[in-house]
Amino acid sequence: MVKAEVDAVDIDLKTGTTLGFYTFGLERPNVLILSAMNGQSATCVYVSYLIMKHLEAEKRIHGTVTLLPVASPLAYRLSAMVSPLDSMDLDAVFPGDEHGTVTQRTAWEIWRRASQADYVIHLRSGWQPCVSHTVAMHREYIHVRNLATQIGLKLVVQSSSTRGALTTEAAHEGIPAIAIEMRGAQEVDAQAAVEVREAILNFLRNKDIISGDVIESTATLTARMKHINVDHEGFFVPNALLGTRVEEDQLIGHVQDKGDVKSPYNGNLISVSQMRYVFEGDIIARIATPLTDRPSREREVEAPETKRRKW
């Protein structure tokens, strides 16, 4: 049995903002795994819990694995996307500021540890039902690509490389860093949680940090996300399976009594909305498009931006 060393770091005593770091092992390599940078993080927090339970059952850890299950405590408690104290998104202010706001000080404390890590894995729950996938700057950095392809998930999507994001800043500093996105933002998706847990444990086995057989896997590298927007207001009904390959003009779903919604791109269907009422311009799906010889110069983002609605 391996017992975790717990380090509780008080960022702001008045608001109860305390970070709990759980460290297993004392050797190199050093892996930092963190989740819940916002309040829509049900499944990724559960993945952290599952990983800790597994590590506790190991006889020995040949390396160091540090987990931060909840990186933004107040946002997590309130199910908010930003901190209620300073309205900042934690994953947009790295490397942070030791003397800044609560969110900036939180980022600084996380960055202090991330900058010493050999690998950084950010777990996050998607804002839309999605297939579990890795998001990484695999086109820019070979050290990031190596980590992304060793995780074991089938799809590795090119990151938007937004400055201020932990994985972006870490990659620029030469640290292998990736994000893993899974479904289950407000409620735990147990199937996705187990899938991601096994992918991370397989990586730890691959690095000889924990014991066990390594499962060989092949990852497909893709370009950045493309969004599919609806042109009509009404009830959207999906008609495509997550993770499947879609072709241009393939049916994704339809808005009842208004018309079909087809994909304008070729690629893998990363996420698709459940049946719900939508407005003109809403994003109902995301496609990971195939790699091309040259990266696209257009600005492509992973955050849920929409076209302007007509009221």
pLDDT (tens digit per residue) in 37-54: 999 999 999 999 999 999
pLDDT at 310 over 90: no
- Residue-range domain boundaries for the chain: 5-206, 222-290
Provide the mean pLDDT of the chain: 92
pLDDT (tens digit per residue) in 266-288: 999 999 999 999 999 999 999 99
Q: Could you tell me the fold of the domain covering 222-290?
A: OB fold (Dihydrolipoamide Acetyltransferase, E2P) (2.40.50)
pLDDT at 296 over 80: no
Confidence of residue 16 (pLDDT cuts 50, 70, 90): confident
- Provide DSSP, 182-215: ES-SSS--HHHHHHHHHHHHHHHHHTTSS-SPPP
Q: Do domains 5-206 and 222-290 have the same CATH topology?
A: no
How far is residue 67's CA from residue 35's CA, in Å, rounded to a whole number? 8
**95 cis-preceded (ω within 30 degrees of 0):** yes
Q: Could you tell me the fold of the domain covering 5-206?
A: Aminopeptidase (3.40.630)
pLDDT (tens digit per residue) in 204-258: 999 999 999 998 888 999 999 999 999 999 999 999 999 899 999 999 999 999 9
Q: How far apart are the first and last CA of the chain?
A: 60
How far is residue 70's CA from residue 287's CA, in Å, rounded to a whole number? 29
pLDDT at 301 over 80: no
* Six token digits for residue 84: 């209620």
pLDDT of 72: 96
pLDDT at 181 over 50: yes
Instruction: For the full predicted model, state whether its pTM sits above 0.85.
Output: yes
pLDDT (tens digit per residue) in 113-167: 999 999 999 999 998 999 999 999 999 999 999 999 999 899 999 999 999 999 9
pLDDT of 305: 44
How far is residue 138's CA from residue 130's CA, in Å, rounded to a whole number? 20
Confidence of residue 25 (pLDDT cuts 50, 70, 90): very high
